[in-house]
Amino acid sequence: MSGVHLLVPVKPLHLAKSRLRGAGDGGGGDPGAHAELVAAAALDTVLAARQASGVTGVVCVTSDRSLASALAAEGVRTIEDLPASGLNAALHHGDQQLRREGVARTGALQADLPALDPEELAAALAAAGGDRAFCPDRQGTGTTLLLAEPGRPLDPRFGPGSARAHAASEAKELDGTWSTLRCDVDTAADLALAEDLGLGPRTRALLGSA
């Protein structure tokens, strides 16, 4: 079976992850420090995902030029978020672009998984097989990973209660104990849990210097 191209959407850094503001500078709330934290988490997520067996490529959908530049330095492609109309619109845009290029299978991975273990992502992909599938977050209400069937549109349904929405779209729930794949980071408490699991090098270095 051919691998999956994962789309990783990221808002402009100054708008992303508002509930994390202050976590990157000891509570100071500096916008620059916040942007650096969001970028570090996204880079750790993308570069870990790229190492997972079953992943053919990782593409970031973003209009943030500084993040696009950092990703390009790591050899990661970006697609500009031309709709600028939210997460699902960004993923739909990226999905259409890749499908026009002949990509057989796409998926969506959230950008806030700074402790992601490539082996856990690979295990989730193996469990999905060729099915439309999703992995819920650790609370069981959100979605960290969504996979389309080969040759089919991604049909993302992110937002509040996205796990239920994706299940209703006949996506198979991936219910493994993959703690790093399920640990998305929205708050300082989430970040502490990710730190216990083992942060990626960029996020770890940034927090160590804060």
CA dist., res. 134 & res. 124, Å (int):
9
pTM of the model: 0.95
Dihedral sign from CA coordinates of 161, 167, 170, 173:
positive
Dihedral of CA atoms 118, 56, 175, 140 in degrees, nearest 10, equals 80
pLDDT digits (tens, 9 = 90+) for 19-57: 888 777 777 778 888 999 999 999 999 999 999 999 999
Q: In terms of Cα–Cα distance, which of 180, 95, 110, 115 is closest to 142?
A: 110
pLDDT digits (tens, 9 = 90+) for 128-153: 999 999 999 999 999 999 999 999 99
Q: Mean pLDDT over residues 168-174, rounded?
A: 98
Domains, the chain, ordered by start: 4-209 (3.90.550.10)
pLDDT exceeds cutoff 80 at 209: no
Q: Residue 26: its pLDDT value, please?
A: 74
Q: Residue 15: its pLDDT value, please?
A: 87
**Pairing outcome for strands 106-109 and 143-147:** antiparallel
pLDDT digits (tens, 9 = 90+) for 109-119: 999 999 999 99
CA dist., res. 56 & res. 77, Å (int):
13
DSSP codes of every residue in 62-120: ---HHHHHHHHHTT-EEE--SS-S-HHHHHHHHHHHHHHTT-S-EEEE-S--TT--HHH
pLDDT digits (tens, 9 = 90+) for 51-90: 999 999 999 999 999 999 999 999 999 999 999 999 999 9
CA dist., res. 112 & res. 136, Å (int):
14
CA dist., res. 174 & res. 143, Å (int):
10
Q: Residue 1: its pLDDT value, please?
A: 52
Q: Residue 210: its pLDDT value, please?
A: 58
